[in-house]
Structure 1
Amino acid sequence: MNHLALPLKITICWELLTITLLVILMIAVIICDFEQSAGNQQIKFSVGSSETIRNPLHSSLLAINEDRVHEIKYKLMLLATQHKNNCRKFSSKYLNNKEDNIDNLKPINVYNNFKESRSLILKQEKDKLGIYCLVNNVNKHTYIGSSIHLANRMKNYLNPAFLKSKQNINMPITKALLKYDTHNFSLWILEYVDINDISIRETYYITSVMPYYNVLKQGYSSLGYVHTEETKKLLSELAKNRVHSFETKSLIARRLTGENNPFYNKSHSIESKRRIMEARSAYSVYVYDSYKHLLVIFPSVLSLSKLIKCNHSTLVEVIKDNKLFRGEWYMSNIPHNIEDTPVIKDIYSEECKKLIEAFNNNSHIKKAIFVYDIDMNFINKYNGVMAAARSLNFSHEAIKKKALAKEVYNNYYFSYERIDNSNNILVKK
């Protein structure tokens, strides 16, 4: 139907003009008939006679007018019939033109089978923004769209639950994807664009191709739109008071069960399971001091983060990167040595409370610096690079640079980790 936008306007205008002319002439005919029946017959009464005499001149004029009106009516009816037939031919011509103007398109990526190329699409189009074209391989109809996350958009198109959702089911492209199935579509990536030009380039392709499945004839994006405070408050209140009925809950559950579930007939990889475990903190935390002595074992990251007043994600990063935490402790989700036994065996004991207090007292330390002489003898530990610079009267930039490079500076050796004096190596997990 998108191809008939301009022709339909012309057709409607012609039909309105024809109807207007017909109405005007019908009114003229009615007036003429009324005049003829009401007053245009001149009746002449003769005394002693009941004969009615017409005016011959007027009767001839009426006959001429009546013939003329019938002739005009016949011609208009003939014209209307011809116009109607022409409109049918005109509409049929465009309806039968099933292919969109895609011959001049030069896509940079083509996936001939949309369904089977799912994994490749999600891999190659990850974190990319641009213009895409969905081509129906059966009838060559197309849809032009844009997205700032191409991989996510394609994942939605390949999800039957998304296509059948209430807000999407009436879109022409979703109806086509459900009717012909996604394996009968091809995906063309037309170009990758800057976020500021995405609507302009989408409009260009839409006007060039005239895609059959596009409802709007120009690119549209709500990117960058910010709701007013009043709208935000209203949306918040609506969300708070929204309660799904039992029927709605049942429909939602039905949409996400069985084959409609995006994770249907799939399983998590080992890497995914590890990430899920990390996110849920479903592992123990082994706490070591800077000398690599096992101090205590906490049941989870969450339990430890609450005790030492630290963000959960921060502790996860410390464990992942094996960083020295608050200048004195290492943390790990696996033991450094399987034979190690913790110094503190009960996390509810007085010793553990003292350790937690020490954690909290060092909360201001982000990155401690250890200072050694040229023979690797320990001199001092400072709470940070700035504290060491003030005490030794050195430039903090120089200390930072030499600590990262692990080089001697003015007969001093600076390190972000404690050094084992026995064999001059960094004490690491």
Structure 2
Amino acid sequence: MSISSIILNNDTIKSYKLCSYSTLEQNKDILPDKYYKLFIDLTKKNQYVIKKEFNKTPCVYLWVNIVNHRCYVGSSINLYRRLENYFSINYLKKISKKMPIASALLLYGVNGFHLYVLEKCEISITIKQLRIKEDSWSQLIKPSYNIQSILNPFLGNNHYRYGRTLSTEIRQKISNSLTGSVQSEIVRNNHIIGAHKRRVFCYDYTNQQFVTEFAGIRIMARELKISSTILIYRKLDTNKLFKCTYKDKKVLWLITSTVLKI
């Protein structure tokens, strides 16, 4: 979808007769001053009024720096909640490295900006639809505080490979790069039998007679229905008594990771 088609699909922008600015101008923050009076100005409204009118209300909004006239276009399913974040110093500090508008609000203060509602949307609007509206306003105004001019630059028609057909050779190379290396039979068998597992040898605690062994600590815990392997780790190679149930009998074992030399 081209920039002009994004904008022309937005009925609000069409009603303001702003479409021509998207193609005639290339500079950022280009919206003429005369159009700001068309938007809802929240700059002088108190928090109670904003909450009453915009709580749980989807909107596309605009920050305009009073000093340098740089702009930021954003959107939110709940405008009031979003503004609460902007009014929080801690929130701005948290996101300032990722969002230039947050750094600017910290530098100039909220009073250094005008805040406008560009478009008030229906409650039923989806996030995807709201993002499309935000895209259209962003392409019109070209706000320099926004990190990228198209919010979803690599989706659909916007993707730089859209419409291109890859050759069989290229597709095979991509497939090979994603397949990974082929493991040898030895490596595959090691995964199956657990070549790197820590074996556990079990002896009767009273007479140190060999009873059984397990291929690994997890395997032992699973077969003996022990809830945590930590219980085994704590007794392994310590010469301490290990109590468990083996073949439906209570047993007292001495457990080691090596064969016990008697």
More helix per residue:
1
Q: Max radius of gyration: which structure?
A: 1
